[in-house]
Amino acid sequence: MDKETDILIIDDDKDLVGSMRIVLESKGYHVRIAHESKAGYARIQEKTPDLIILDVMMTSDTEGFDLAFKLRNQPDYEAVPILMVTSFPKHMAEQGPEKFQHIMGEEWPVTKFLEKPIDPEQLLDSIASLLQGD
């Protein structure tokens, strides 16, 4: 596996991040971590990662989405694949309150969704396919 592949995980659940990190590092990925979107954005600015694993609800309910929209609107980062991990299935967002309505009707700003709990194999498969540009 390519040692240089740099993956940034942005998720506030430290235990979950820990287990993802173990799985990813076991396959030789270089993993960086942030526990909220501001810090995550700072990491991205330091160095553009090859892939971002992003949670939805962190400090605010839509933090993950907001960051994803922000990245999609920047030429430097728009091509970075985003794997959104959430225990917040898409249909909940569709029923969600007012604050989610600005998302509805627009393209989801993420490349792929993965529902929690994260199965190690599923995670690795998804990452591999995203990195190959599928």
Partner 1 sequence: MRMGHELIKEQLFFRKELIERVAWFIHLRWLFICAGFVGSIAGYLIWRPFPHIFFLTVFLCIAVYNIVFYRIYVKLSAKPSQDEKSYALFAHSQIVLDLLALGLIIHFTGGVYSPFLFFILFHIIIAGILLSPASCFVYGGIMPAALGMIVFLQHLGLLDRQPVLFSSASVVQASDTQTLFLLILDTAIILVTAALTTTIKISLRIKGRELLSVSKELTAQNKKLNSLYEMVKEMGIRTGLQELMDAATRQGTQIMGVKACAIKLLDDQRRKLRFVSTYGLSGDYIAKGTVDIEKSIINRKIIEGSVYAVGQIHEKDQFQYPEEMQKEGIASMVCLPLRVEKMIFGVFCVYSDTSHAFQESDIRFFSLMSDLTAIFIENLKSELNKTWFLQKTAHQLRSPLNAVHSMLSTMRKGYIGGIDPRQEETLMRCEKRIESLGSLIGDLLGLSIRRVGMDQKKMVPVNIGQVVERLLLMYRAQADEKNIHIIHSIPESLPAVLGDNILFDDLFTNLISNAVKYTQKGGSIQITIQPESSERIRFEIKDTGIGIPEEEVPHLFMEFFRGQNAKATTEEGTGLGLVIVKEILDQLNGTIQVKSTVGKGTCMTIRLPAVS
Residue numbers of the site for partner 1 (CB under 8 A)? 13, 15-16, 18-20, 22-23, 26, 57, 61, 87-88, 91-92, 94-98, 101, 116-121
Cβ proximity to partner 1, 46 vs 89, nearer residue: 89
Nearest distance from residue 115's CB to partner 1, in Å? 9
Q: Say how far residue 49 (Cα) sits from the centre of its chain.
A: 11
Cβ proximity to partner 1, 44 vs 55, nearer residue: 55
Nearest distance from residue 108's CB to partner 1, in Å? 16
Q: Kindly tell me the sign of the dihedral angle through the C-alpha atoms of 112, 81, 40, 125.
A: positive
Cβ proximity to partner 1, 57 vs 131, nearer residue: 57
Give the CA distances from residue 40 to residues 4, 25, 62, 67, in Å, rounded to whole numbers and listed in that order.
Answer: 19, 19, 15, 9
Q: Spell out the residues 6+ positions from residue 110 whose beta carbon is closer than 8 angstroms to its own.
A: 54, 68, 82, 83, 84
